[in-house]
Structure 1
Amino acid sequence: MLSQLQTIDIIVLIGMLAIMPTAGIIIALRKKTAEDYFLAGRNIKWWAVAGSVFGTNISSFHLIGMLGIGYSIGFVQAHYEIVFPAILLLCFVFLTSYRRLDVFTLSQYLEVRYNDKARLLYTILLILIILVQLVGSFYVGSLTLQWLFGGTSFEMSYTTGLILIGLITCSYTIWGGMESIVVTDTIQTLMMLAAGTAVAYFTLSQPEIGGFTGLLNLDAAQPREAQKMHLYLPSNHPNLPWTGIFTGLLLQHCFNFSTNQFLVQRVLAANSDSDARKGVIASGFLKLTIPFFSISAGVAAYYLFRSRFNGMDFNSDNAFLKLVETVIPPGTGLVGMILAGLTAATFSSVDSMMNSATTLLTVDVYQKYVNPKATDKQIVRFGRLMILVMVVASIGLALWTYTPDRTNNFMLKVSAQLSYFTPGIMVAFFVGILWRGASARAAVIAMAAAPFYGLLAEFMYNNFLGTNPSVAAVFGEKLNFMHRVFLTFLLTLTTLIVLSRTAFPNLRPEGFERLRVDIDAGQLARAVGLFLLVQAVFVGLIFLGGLSPKSVAVWAALATFGLFLGPKSERVKERKSEVVSRAGFSLSNDLIWAGLLTAVSVGVLYYFA
Structure 2
Amino acid sequence: MLSQLQTIDIVVLVLMLAIMPSAGIIIALRKKTAEDYFLAGRNIRWWAVAGSVFGTNVSSFHLIGMLGIGYSIGFVQAHYEIVFPAILLLCFVFLTSYRRLDVFTLSQYLEVRYNDKARLLYTILLILIILVQLVGAFYVGSITLQWLFGGTGFDMSYATGLLLIGLITCSYTIWGGMESIVVTDTIQTIMMLAAGTAVAYFTLSQPEIGGFTGLLHLDAAQPRELQKMHLYLPSNHPNLPWTGVFTGLLLQHCFNFSTNQFLVQRVLAANSDSDARKGIIASGFLKLTIPFFSISAGVAAYYLFQSRLAATVGGGMDFNSDNAFLKLVETVIPHGTGLVGMILAGLTAATFSSVDSMMNAATTLLTVDVYQKYVNPKATDKQIVRFGRLMILVMVVASIGLALWTYTPDRTNNFMLKVSAQLSYFTPGIMVAFFVGVLWRGASARAAVVAMAAAPFYGLLTEFIYNSFLGTNPDVASVFGEKLNFMHRVFLTFLLTLTTLISLSRTVFPNLRPEGFERLRVDINAGQLARVVGLFLLVQAVFIGLVFLGGFSPQSVAIWAALATFGLFLKSERVNRDAEPERKGEATVRSSLTVHHSSFNNDLLWAGLLTSVSVGVLYYFA
If the TM-score is normalised by the length of the shorter chain, which range does it land in? over 0.9
Q: What is the aligned partner in structure 2 of residue 481 from structure 1? A: 486
| In 2, Cα distance between equivalents of 1:308 and 1:495 | 57
| In 1, Cα distance between equivalents of 2:406 and 2:328 | 28
| In 1, Cα distance between equivalents of 2:67 and 2:584 | 46
| In 1, Cα distance between equivalents of 2:66 and 2:154 | 28
Cα deviation, residue 556, structure 1? 0.2
Distance 1:166 1:270, change over 3 A: same
TM-score normalized by the length of structure 2: 0.93
Q: What is the aligned partner in structure 2 of residue 14 from structure 1? A: 14
| In 1, Cα distance between equivalents of 2:467 and 2:168 | 43
Answer yes or no: is the 8 Å Cα contact 1:40–1:177 preserved in 2. yes
Alignment of 1:113-152 (within 5 A): 113-151=113-151
Distance 1:575 1:39, change over 3 A: farther
| Stretches of structure 1 lacking an aligned partner (at least 5 in a row) | none
Cα deviation, residue 267, structure 1? 0.3
Cα deviation, residue 132, structure 1? 2.3
Cα deviation, residue 221, structure 1? 1.2
Cα deviation, residue 317, structure 1? 2.2
Answer yes or no: is the 8 Å Cα contact 1:571–1:579 preserved in 2. no
Name whichever of 62-71 and 263-272 sits farther off. 62-71
SS in 2 for 1:517: coil
Distance 1:452 1:336, change over 3 A: same
Answer yes or no: is the 8 Å Cα contact 2:4–2:152 preserved in 1. no
Distance 1:579 1:161, change over 3 A: farther
Alignment of 1:393-408 (within 5 A): 393-407=398-412
Distance 1:409 1:135, change over 3 A: closer
Q: Percent identity, please.
A: 92
Q: Deviations over 1:85-142 (max 9, x none)?
A: 0000000000000000000000000000000110011111111111222122212211
| In 1, Cα distance between equivalents of 2:61 and 2:256 | 17
Distance 1:63 1:95, change over 3 A: same
Distance 1:579 1:521, change over 3 A: farther
Cα deviation, residue 421, structure 1? 1.1
Answer yes or no: is the 8 Å Cα contact 1:50–1:279 preserved in 2. yes
Distance 1:408 1:392, change over 3 A: closer
Name whichever of 527-536 and 323-332 sits farther off. 323-332
Cα deviation, residue 206, structure 1? 1.6
Answer yes or no: is the 8 Å Cα contact 2:35–2:41 preserved in 1. yes
Distance 1:74 1:65, change over 3 A: same
Q: What is the aligned partner in structure 2 of residue 341 from structure 1? A: 346
Distance 1:99 1:231, change over 3 A: same
| In 2, Cα distance between equivalents of 1:582 and 1:547 | 50
Matched residues, number: 606
SS in 2 for 1:166: helix
SS in 1 for 2:471: helix
Answer yes or no: is the 8 Å Cα contact 2:408–2:414 preserved in 1. no
Q: Deviations over 1:503-541 (max 9, x none)?
A: 111011000000000000000000000000000000000
Answer yes or no: is the 8 Å Cα contact 1:133–1:414 preserved in 2. no
Cα deviation, residue 408, structure 1? 9.5
Alignment of 1:95-110 (within 5 A): 95-110=95-110
TM-score normalized by the length of structure 1: 0.95
Cα deviation, residue 414, structure 1? 7.1
SS in 2 for 1:570: helix
Cα deviation, residue 301, structure 1? 1.4
Answer yes or no: is the 8 Å Cα contact 1:2–1:150 preserved in 2. yes
Distance 1:76 1:570, change over 3 A: closer
Answer yes or no: is the 8 Å Cα contact 2:4–2:151 preserved in 1. no
| In 2, Cα distance between equivalents of 1:273 and 1:338 | 35
Cα deviation, residue 415, structure 1? 6.7
Answer yes or no: is the 8 Å Cα contact 1:195–1:338 preserved in 2. yes
Cα deviation, residue 164, structure 1? 0.8
Q: What is the aligned partner in structure 2 of residue 533 from structure 1? A: 538
| In 2, Cα distance between equivalents of 1:360 and 1:366 | 9
Name whichever of 218-227 and 24-33 sits farther off. 218-227
Q: Deviations over 1:334-371 (max 9, x none)?
A: 11000100011111110001000100000000100111
Name whichever of 393-402 and 64-73 sits farther off. 393-402
| In 2, Cα distance between equivalents of 1:218 and 1:562 | 34
Task: Find the partner of 2:574 among 566, 571, 574.
Answer: 571
| In 2, Cα distance between equivalents of 1:362 and 1:432 | 25
Distance 1:457 1:105, change over 3 A: same
| In 2, Cα distance between equivalents of 1:429 and 1:244 | 22
| Stretches of structure 2 lacking an aligned partner (at least 5 in a row) | 310-314, 576-581, 594-598
Cα deviation, residue 587, structure 1? 11
Cα deviation, residue 170, structure 1? 0.4
Answer yes or no: is the 8 Å Cα contact 1:44–1:270 preserved in 2. yes
| In 1, Cα distance between equivalents of 2:161 and 2:551 | 55
Cα deviation, residue 418, structure 1? 2.2
Distance 1:489 1:579, change over 3 A: farther
| In 1, Cα distance between equivalents of 2:231 and 2:166 | 37
| In 1, Cα distance between equivalents of 2:584 and 2:396 | 41
Cα deviation, residue 324, structure 1? 1.5
Q: Deviations over 1:225-248 (max 9, x none)?
A: 111100000000000000000000
Cα deviation, residue 282, structure 1? 0.4
Answer yes or no: is the 8 Å Cα contact 1:134–1:353 preserved in 2. yes
Answer yes or no: is the 8 Å Cα contact 2:2–2:326 preserved in 1. no
| In 2, Cα distance between equivalents of 1:220 and 1:182 | 42
SS in 2 for 1:331: coil
Cα deviation, residue 5, structure 1? 1.0
Distance 1:575 1:18, change over 3 A: farther
Cα deviation, residue 582, structure 1? 13
Cα deviation, residue 406, structure 1? 3.1
Distance 1:415 1:67, change over 3 A: farther
Cα deviation, residue 328, structure 1? 1.1
Q: Deviations over 1:44-71 (max 9, x none)?
A: 0000000000100111111111111111
Answer yes or no: is the 8 Å Cα contact 2:24–2:173 preserved in 1. yes
Answer yes or no: is the 8 Å Cα contact 1:557–1:599 preserved in 2. yes
Name whichever of 96-105 and 416-425 sits farther off. 416-425
SS in 1 for 2:589: strand
Answer yes or no: is the 8 Å Cα contact 1:100–1:575 preserved in 2. no
Cα deviation, residue 144, structure 1? 1.9
Distance 1:153 1:297, change over 3 A: closer
Cα deviation, residue 321, structure 1? 2.0
SS in 2 for 1:545: coil
| In 1, Cα distance between equivalents of 2:588 and 2:60 | 42
Cα deviation, residue 577, structure 1? 16
Cα deviation, residue 442, structure 1? 0.5
| In 2, Cα distance between equivalents of 1:570 and 1:602 | 19
Answer yes or no: is the 8 Å Cα contact 2:105–2:365 preserved in 1. yes
| In 2, Cα distance between equivalents of 1:503 and 1:408 | 45
Answer yes or no: is the 8 Å Cα contact 1:317–1:409 preserved in 2. no
Alignment RMSD: 3.0
Distance 1:580 1:130, change over 3 A: farther
Name whichever of 355-364 and 586-595 sits farther off. 586-595
Cα deviation, residue 413, structure 1? 5.7
Cα deviation, residue 318, structure 1? 2.2
Answer yes or no: is the 8 Å Cα contact 1:60–1:137 preserved in 2. no
Cα deviation, residue 222, structure 1? 1.1
| In 2, Cα distance between equivalents of 1:518 and 1:411 | 41
| In 1, Cα distance between equivalents of 2:154 and 2:546 | 60
